Each structure stands twice: as C-alpha cells, then as structure tokens.
Structure 1
Amino acid sequence: MSNEDITLTAGDAEVTVQPGNGGRVGGLRVGGVELLRQGERFGCFPMVPWCGRTRDGRFRNGGTVHQMPLNSPPHAIHGTVRDGAWRVARTSADAAVITYDLVEPWPWPGRVTHQLDLTPDSLTLTMAVEAHDSSFPAQIGWHPWFNRNLGGEDVRVDFAPTWQEERGEDHLPTGNRIEPRPGPWDDCFGMPDGVDVTLTWPGQLELKVGSPEEWVVVYDEQEAAVCVEPQTGPPDGLNSRPRLVTPLEPLEATMTWAWRRL
C-alpha cells in the first residue's frame, strides 16, 4: 500500500494520518476547526523507541553502551520513527493501522504498530513495540502540538500531577521529584493514577488528554502551540527507567483525546 495521507471521519470530526511523514497525525478537525498546529514537523508524532531527550545520545543495554545520533545536540531527542515512512496495514472510514520496522540507527530489529480509532467525540491512539529476536529497552509516547488559539481566547491547561521531575540545566530530569510548579513548562510530571490533562479553549472546546501511563511532559514555551505528551517513562528513561521489550512481551501504550463543545 502507498503511504499517502489517510483521512478518517466520524460525525463532524476528521483526522489526517500521514504514514509517509513519521506516522504522525497531521490534523484533527472538529466542526471544521483545526486543533493541531500545521506543518510537516508538527501535528502529533509518535515518540519511539524513546521519548524526549536521551542524555548525550547514549544508553546501556546490559553492559553495552549504544550511541544514537545527536539530533538535538548535545542530546538525542524523540526517537527515530518520526523520521521514517510507515506502512499502511489497514484502513476503514474511522480507523487505521500503520506499522514501522525499526532500522538503523536503532541497534535491534523490531516493529512498531500504531492504531488510530476515531469516534465523533474522541480519538484513541494505541502503540506497541515488538522485539523480533533480541530484547531491548524502549519507550512509547506521543508529541501533539495543540494550537494555543482557535480564534478566541488562549487555551487553558488544567491538571493535578502528584510530582514534577526536577529539571537540570541540560533540560533532563535530575532524578529528584519536587512539588509541581507553575508554568511556563518544558517539564515532566508524574500522574500515578494515569495521565489526565484538560485543555480548554474558553467558549469553544474542551479536550481531555487521557492515558493509563503515569508520565506526561507539558511544553508551553512556544507562542503558537501547547504540547501535552503522555509517555511510558520520563525523558532519559532509557537510562533511568528502562522498559524491556522482549520477543515474548511487547511494550504497549494508549492515549485518548476526548472533546466536547462549550
């Protein structure tokens, strides 16, 4: 199948999936209003096989140190799959499944599967990483760029995290957990009962970001957009909290956006 854009529709919701551009969600329109920042690096891209920054691009698997390209010097950021073209496994009017085979510079063979399910008032994204023959550490996350403004007041971000990861000068967690601080943020937060963040565009739309995962990065330092990124571990998690993917046990994660008109 080609990797041309896929359009999903349900009610007055429309989602554009871009297999050829890193498997990202290129757009989410509700009643004709685009919620995601437009542009080939924006929308909402999958972060696999790691999320956020990996310190100096290095991590261990057992006794071996592996080096990733420094695509955000001095660190490696957001994984490798957003730079590749994905295959289309199947599509319907309101759902799609796309896959990506892990290749260099990632040292191990594996497959990422991304499933997208649209209803008139929600979009659920489910991702899995499978190992073919060797086990390896990995993370899964999503990096959406929500438009700060939909033509009215700026968006409000509401959430009640249990802790904030203290951020060092290198933008990486120090390992200390601190009381959550007010924004602006480029920070990772802990929500042990699951990610639950509400975005409200006053008088227009409310969107809830939910996930069973307990980690979320919130980034609102850009004028145009706000990012709310559920993930399976904190930044530099390949080093601090590796999740092992084995041939018998894939790593899976899910995220739902649910919206309603105000």
Structure 2
Amino acid sequence: MSTHETTEAAPEAGVLLAAGNAEVTVRPELGGRLGSLRIDGTELLRQGPRYGSFPMVPWCGRTANGVFRDGAERHELPLNSPPHAIHGTGRDQVWRTVRADGTAAVLTYDLGDPWPYTGRVTQLVELADDALTLKMGVETYGNSFPAQAGWHPWFLRHLAGGGNGADEGVRISFDAAWQEERGEDHLPTGRRTDPRPGPWDDCFGMPDGVDVTLTWPERLELRITSRAEWVVVYDEQDEAVCVEPQSGPPNGLNTAPRLVTPIDPLEISTTWRWRRL
C-alpha cells in the first residue's frame, strides 16, 4: 500500500513514555503504533514493524472487496489483504508528534489518498504507573464521510522469563452479548449467534462496553476496557493474541456506517489496566 505524501523532512524517531515501572515506546514513523509496552522490564507486545499495537483508521477489519458506498458514491480501496481491504490506512502513514511530555504524547496525520476524503486523525497516548489510555478522534475538513476507528494490539502469548504456570500462555476472558457469525470470506454474515469457544478470529458485541481480561498466570493481569461496543478477538497464532476494541464491526463501512460530520467527529478510547499477580 502506498504511503501518503508528507512534507516532513524525515521520519520521526520513537517517543519514549515512562511512569513508575511502566514504559511505552510510540512510533509515529511506523503508523502511529505502540512499538513496545514494558511492565517491570517485561515486554507485553510482539515485536516487529508490523506488530506492536497499531491504530485501525479510517476503517477496522476487512472491507468487502475493498469497496464501500457513501450514498450514491462508490469508492474503491487498495486490496492489501486480497480480496479485501483491511485495517485502514493509518498504520501505513507517518504521523506527526504534536506533543510529548514524558508520560503522554499526541500524534496526528492528515487523511487523504487512497482514502477518498480529507480530514485529520488525532491520537493521544497517556501512561500511568498502572494503566495506559489511548484516545483517537477522526474529523473532516469538509464533506461528511463514514469511518471507523480502533486499535489492533499484538499481545505476547508467553512472557519472557516464564516459569511456574507461565508455560500455558495467556488466558482470555470476556462475556459478550453475541458473536457475529463469520462467513468463509471472513466477513460477518449479518447473523448473530451465542458466543462460541475459541480459537477465534471473530467479532463480538458488548453493548455495555468492551471488557476483556488477559491473564498470564502468576505474572500479570491486563484488563482492556472501552465504551465502544465492538471487539475482535484473534488467537489463532502461537506467538501472540489480539484484542481489538473498535467503533464498529468488520465491513462496517457498508453495514453499519457511522458518519463523521463537521459538528460530530468520531471519537473512541480504550484503557488497559494491569496488576501483578
């Protein structure tokens, strides 16, 4: 996928945030992602330029065949996961650091080609000694448009320096109201079912807000919450698991469009709170 042109002279280096025994590295030059989250020196996120935790914007998950409609207008997106377009364009952009003060950073980038509308995305990363809060806003510079936003973290299944109960890997616990039935094309069929046992690459509905707990036995508990009503849980890989709070379901540009207007930006937030076991 091509990278939106920018007037920045060079990519910005990572921004280090620290609070208590927690450290976060933010990578504006790698799609505004979190490159690292360390608690007591232990890394929680899978490493590598495709991993960490990246913002999904201006859409989340797969958009069917890379096509969405806004009224009578038909738009085509790059097929970066053929036959679909996946996870937005924000992760491929160079973001700008507007502010960084040691425990918080604000990043932005301007929407544009290959997204067919202009606007701005702003992300706040705020670290405390027992929690990380992420906030994202999408605003338009002109015309209204449908959009989605969320985060795609890759949490390590096994933490380094394991032992005792650590070998069994992370446990995922949540209580969803429903599960979106997934078709062979990995898109929701439009039917809702009772939540089923994993492994998952599935979207769940939580009308009272996302609430998922990851537990590394005898090491750490991490609770992911959000006022958003949708979460995708992915645990089909040996190395990592994903818990993705998002503002709408996969293919939501077509099935559940949320308009960004000049007086009503799209806003979403999530908090990750941890405690040592």
TM-score, normalised by the number of residues in structure 2? 0.94
2:14 pairs with 1:5: yes
Report the counterpart of residue 276 of structure 2 in structure 1.
261
Task: Report percent identity of matched pairs.
Answer: 66
Q: What whole-Å deviation, never above 9, does each CA across 1:146-202 have from its counterpart, x for those lacking one?
A: 000013230000000000000000000001000100000000000000000000000
Report the counterpart of residue 60 of structure 1 in structure 2.
69
Report the counterpart of residue 124 of structure 1 in structure 2.
133
Aligned length: 262
How far did 1:249 drift? 1.0
What amino acid does structure 2 have at the position aligned with 1:185?
Answer: W
Report the counterpart of residue 113 of structure 1 in structure 2.
122
2:18 pairs with 1:38: no
What amino acid does structure 2 have at the position aligned with 1:75?
Answer: H
What are the ranges of 5 or more consecutive residues in structure 2 without an aligned counterpart?
A: 1-7
CA RMSD of aligned residues (A): 0.8
User: C-alpha distance in 2, partners of 1:188/1:46?
Assistant: 17
Report the counterpart of residue 266 of structure 2 in structure 1.
251
Q: Counterpart of 1:20 in 2: which secondary structure?
A: helix
2:82 pairs with 1:73: yes
Q: What whole-Å deviation, never above 9, does each CA across 1:193-227 have from its counterpart, x for those lacking one?
A: 00000000000000000000010000000110000
Candidates 200, 206, 212, aligned match of 1:185: 200
| Aligned counterparts, 1:196-211, within 5 A | 196-211=211-226
What amino acid does structure 2 have at the position aligned with 1:221?
Answer: E
Candidates 107, 119, 143, aligned match of 1:134: 143
Candidates 229, 234, 237, aligned match of 1:214: 229
What are the ranges of 5 or more consecutive residues in structure 1 without an aligned counterpart?
A: none
- After TM superposition, what 4+ stretches of structure 1 lie above 4 angstroms from structure 2? none
